[in-house]
Amino acid sequence: MELTWKFLVMLVFGSVVIQYIIIQSLTSTSFLMCPAPFNSSSAPFTDPNTTRRMHVLILTATRCGSSFLGQLLNQHHNVFYLFEPLHHVQDSLTGENFLRQLTLGANRDLLWSLFQCDLYALERYMRPPPTNHMVANLFNYRISQALCQPPVCEGVKLGEEWSCNGCGQVNLTLAAQACRGKSHVVYKTVRVVVVGDVRSLLEDPRLNIKVIQLVRDPRGIINSRIEAFPGWYKPWYSWKTSGQRPPSLHVTPPFTTTCEELHSSVSTALSRPEWLKGRYMLVRYEDLARNPLQKTKEIYNFVGLTMTPSVERWVSANTKGANKEQNNNVYSTTRDSVANVENWRLKLPFEMVQHVQAECQDMLSIMGYRQVHSAQELKNMNISLVQETTFEPFL
């Protein structure tokens, strides 16, 4: 009898300990807790006014105008900018496939390291792996102003901008030093769209992230994707050029995924959860295009940067009228620019517009894009389809 009683007490005690261990292991955010704590006082800031480095994440989908938005921030001398660093994750893990859910953890992990200026983390996703931290294939690095100038490279200054002319491989040790010398680190990605997917980064006290979510009218997105990637968007390309709807509109991922993800992310943000307080700004590409200088000021203000005369000059030079020059670079900021933001209305067949409107209703309405109900209305550029809506940053 006595033995059974003692056994019971031990059993209860034992199970409490086991439960405690299980709960502990479930509630600790494993990968976030492992690396050494960020020692912010060891970071050499060049701007004494900045007490803590600001991390800016531009979340968007392909062909929403993010090259342009990225460039706006890239122009500031105190910004370290990378264009699509997560390209390397997708490239190494999934090849041509877009297995987004599987790559999400890797994407988040890489962003975490990159925000700490640990650029060596990119090497895990490069084939062949670089030696001596010298990298030949850093995706579109020539866009990054910080990588085209000393100490990383002896580039050439052309007008307001540094050019990477004459720069060879990137020395990631020097690039990381450049990153640590800036007050702002900015990464743009089209590979994570939904802000809820980076919630753990936003909640990490060692990071200091602000998210700029860039959205665009989905009818403009589809037109731009067809023009930039006709192979990827084959059935849509054929619909646009022939006027005949093909039996299947399937592309990978389906176009509706873009609408669903942007809608889901924006509705999360508009519900103003505590973890996004002070950290989220919604920008419509159309507003940026219509009023570039004003919008740029708002964005700079949100992330805590001061407009400089050279940034103002860059904005005026890159938004005045459409650039008619032939330009084969699909990532060019001027090609699909600003002046052409509503040109899709003159290019897409009305039936295709109707189809997209039906598929993307929720997204259109939450972001203030008006639907059209006739071909006349579609082509009448006197009627704007972008409702006057102000999305105040959630402060």
Ligand X SMILES: *[C@@H]1O[C@H](CO)[C@@H](O)[C@H](O)[C@H]1NC(C)=O
Which residues make up the interface to ligand X (CB under 6 A)? 39, 41-42, 47-49, 132, 134, 171, 173-174, 380, 382
The values of phi and psi at residue 107, to 5°, are -60, -45
Minimal distance in Å, beta carbon 130 to ligand X? Answer: 10
Minimal distance in Å, beta carbon 168 to ligand X? Answer: 10
Looking at beta carbons only, is 185 or 192 nearer to ligand X? 185
Task: Specify whether the CB–CB gap between 282 and 269 falls below 8 A.
Answer: yes
Minimal distance in Å, beta carbon 181 to ligand X? Answer: 12
Looking at beta carbons only, is 15 or 374 nearer to ligand X? 374
CA-wise closest residue to 179 among 246, 271, 114: 114
Looking at beta carbons only, is 41 or 244 nearer to ligand X? 41
Looking at beta carbons only, is 69 or 122 nearer to ligand X? 122
Tell me, rounded to whole angstroms, the distance of Cα 9 from its chain centroid: 55
- Pull the structure tokens for residue 137: 């294939």
Minimal distance in Å, beta carbon 306 to ligand X? Answer: 7
The values of phi and psi at residue 70, to 5°, are -60, -45
Looking at beta carbons only, is 350 or 394 nearer to ligand X? 350
What angle (nearest 5°) sits at the alpha carbon of residue 333, between those of residues 115 and 126?
45
Minimal distance in Å, beta carbon 183 to ligand X? Answer: 9
Task: Specify whether the CB–CB gap between 155 and 163 falls below 8 A.
Answer: yes
Minimal distance in Å, beta carbon 286 to ligand X? Answer: 19
How far is the C-alpha of 334 from the C-alpha of 141, rounded, in Å?
18
Minimal distance in Å, beta carbon 374 to ligand X? Answer: 12
Instruction: Establish how many alpha carbons lie within 13 A of residue 121's alpha carbon, considering only the half-sphere containing its beta carbon.
Output: 19
Minimal distance in Å, beta carbon 16 to ligand X? Answer: 35
How far is the C-alpha of 211 from the C-alpha of 213, rounded, in Å?
6
228: buried, middle or exposed (CB in 10 Å: 19+, 13-18, 0-12)?
A: middle
Task: Specify whether the CB–CB gap between 183 and 45 falls below 8 A.
Answer: yes
Minimal distance in Å, beta carbon 37 to ligand X? Answer: 7
The values of phi and psi at residue 68, to 5°, are -65, -45
Residue type, 24: Q
Structure letter (DSSP) for residue 23: H
Q: What is the 3-state composition of the chain as percent helix, strand, coil, each rounded to the nearest 5?
A: 50, 10, 40
Looking at beta carbons only, is 49 or 252 nearer to ligand X? 49
List, in order, residues 6 or more apart from 313 with CB less than 8 Å away.
160
Name the residue number minimizing CB distance to ligand X: 42
Minimal distance in Å, beta carbon 57 to ligand X? Answer: 23
Residue type, 257: T
Looking at beta carbons only, is 317 or 383 nearer to ligand X? 383
Looking at beta carbons only, is 41 or 390 nearer to ligand X? 41
User: What is the three-class DSSP state of 386?
Assistant: strand
Looking at beta carbons only, is 174 or 307 nearer to ligand X? 174
Minimal distance in Å, beta carbon 335 to ligand X? Answer: 27
Query: Beta strands 54-59 and 209-215: pairing type?
Result: parallel
371: buried, middle or exposed (CB in 10 Å: 19+, 13-18, 0-12)?
A: middle
Looking at beta carbons only, is 133 or 234 nearer to ligand X? 133
Looking at beta carbons only, is 239 or 302 nearer to ligand X? 302
How far is the C-alpha of 227 from the C-alpha of 336, rounded, in Å?
10
